[in-house]
Amino acid sequence: MGNILDTCMKRNKGGEFKYRDGRRYDVNFDPLVPGLDKKKLVYPLPNDEDEMDRLDIQHYMLRYAYQGNYCAPVTDLLTKRGARILDAGCGSGIWAMEMAQDFPQALVTGIDISPVQPRGQKPPNVDFQTVDLTKLPLPFADGTFDFVKMRFLILGIKAEQWTEIIRELARVTKKGGYLEVCEPSLAVHEDQKVMQEIMGMVAPLVAARGVDTQIATKLKSHLANCDLLSNVRETSRVIPYRRFPEDEGLDRLSQLVRQDAIMAQAAMKPVFVMRGMPEEQFDDQIRRATEEMAVSKGGMRSHVVWGMRI
């Protein structure tokens, strides 16, 4: 890991942002209230330090669950000098920086709508660019990258955009290279009554923005139907929410997924407050959801799908 943990705390301070209730958002942030223009979909969660910390937690959770930073058979490709890697929607930049450390012969590019990644202390073979993934075409030539990775952008991409974005990512992938996509299922276990209440309020808001909350189960079809990809494969993991005092490793993993879920819900606080919910009510709901998750039989399911560029 080297100094990646320290580096992740030294974010870029540039860019234009909007602030609401103590949280920082993209300058085009739409607080999901009726009557606003829904044609422009902007990532609805904050892009401040707390959110970057959550994304780092999410990264460690996924790396532990899948026992690595990727599932596609790309190790041999990436050990070649001059190999190119693209992290599409790189968030905090932690995946890109770890890949840059793991493959020092490769060049790693991370793109994101928000310029919040480290611009100073970082591996010399990683570069971050401010690029809106939904504004196509991407600023890369055909067949630029040996490996393209995109994950957990379920809230940042409209349902009708998935097909063209996946094809665009395949376009910039070299022949013989791989595109890999990972997304979570937003399904809630029947014993999570409080989380069902929360998701019951969130679902219509994101649906109004054109988000497909079931995209995780459709990824394989999207990649299989792309004319630039073949050999499409899929795997999935369920990370349980409940505590495991008898298993230190599993208990740590479940703690990470609980943190990720609760921090994501807490990040929506300004939205609910703006829609009239008292802060005390929201805080109590998050507290009860946290207690509920620690004993729930449910978990967070994620799907990883990859295909080879032809």
pLDDT tens column, 87-140: 999 999 999 999 999 999 999 999 999 888 988 889 999 999 999 999 999 999
pLDDT tens column, 13-31: 445 666 666 676 665 655 5
Q: How far apart, in Å, are the Cα atoms of 140 and each of 86, 129, 137, 146, 170?
A: 10, 12, 8, 13, 12
Average pLDDT of every residue of the chain: 88
| Phi, psi angle pair for 127, to nearest 5° | -135, 135
Angle at 268 between CA 33 and CA 134, to 5 degrees: 70
For the chain, list the domains and their CATH numbers. Answer: 4-309 (3.40.50.150)
Residue 203: predicted pLDDT: 84
Burial of 111 (0-12, 13-18, 19+ CB in 10 A): buried
The amino acid at residue 7 is: T
pLDDT at 44 exceeding the cut of 80: no
pLDDT at 11 exceeding the cut of 90: no
Distance between CA atoms of 161 and 184, rounded to whole angstroms?
17
**% of the chain exceeding 70 in pLDDT:** 85
Q: How far apart, in Å, are the Cα atoms of 93 and each of 78, 107, 206?
A: 18, 14, 25
Q: How far apart, in Å, are the Cα atoms of 215 and each of 46, 244, 295?
A: 22, 30, 27
pLDDT tens column, 175-211: 999 999 999 998 899 999 999 998 888 888 888 889 9
Residue 27: predicted pLDDT: 58
Residue 266: predicted pLDDT: 86
Q: Please count the other Cβ atoms lying within 10 Å of the Cβ belonging to residue 207.
A: 12
* Segment 285-297 mean pLDDT: 94
Confidence of residue 7 (pLDDT cuts 50, 70, 90): very low
Choose the weakest-confidence range: 7-11, 150-154, 247-251.
Answer: 7-11
Confidence of residue 42 (pLDDT cuts 50, 70, 90): low
Give the pair of three-digit tokens for residue 263.
């921090």
pLDDT at 38 exceeding the cut of 50: no
Residue 226: predicted pLDDT: 99
- Given a contact cutoff of 8 angstroms between Cβ atoms, the answer to whether 108 and 70 are in contact is no
pLDDT tens column, 237-272: 999 999 999 999 999 999 999 999 998 888 888 878
User: Could you tell me which residue, 45 or 108, shows the higher pLDDT?
Assistant: 108
- Given a contact cutoff of 8 angstroms between Cβ atoms, the answer to whether 216 and 303 are in contact is yes
Give the pair of three-digit tokens for residue 247.
């298993």
Residue 10: predicted pLDDT: 38
Residue 225: predicted pLDDT: 98
| Phi, psi angle pair for 179, to nearest 5° | -110, 130
Confidence of residue 4 (pLDDT cuts 50, 70, 90): very low
Distance between CA atoms of 214 and 230, rounded to whole angstroms?
23
Q: Which of 64, 87, 83, 63 is CA-nearest to residue 74?
A: 83
Write the DSSP symbol of residue 207: H
Confidence of residue 6 (pLDDT cuts 50, 70, 90): very low
pLDDT at 58 exceeding the cut of 90: yes
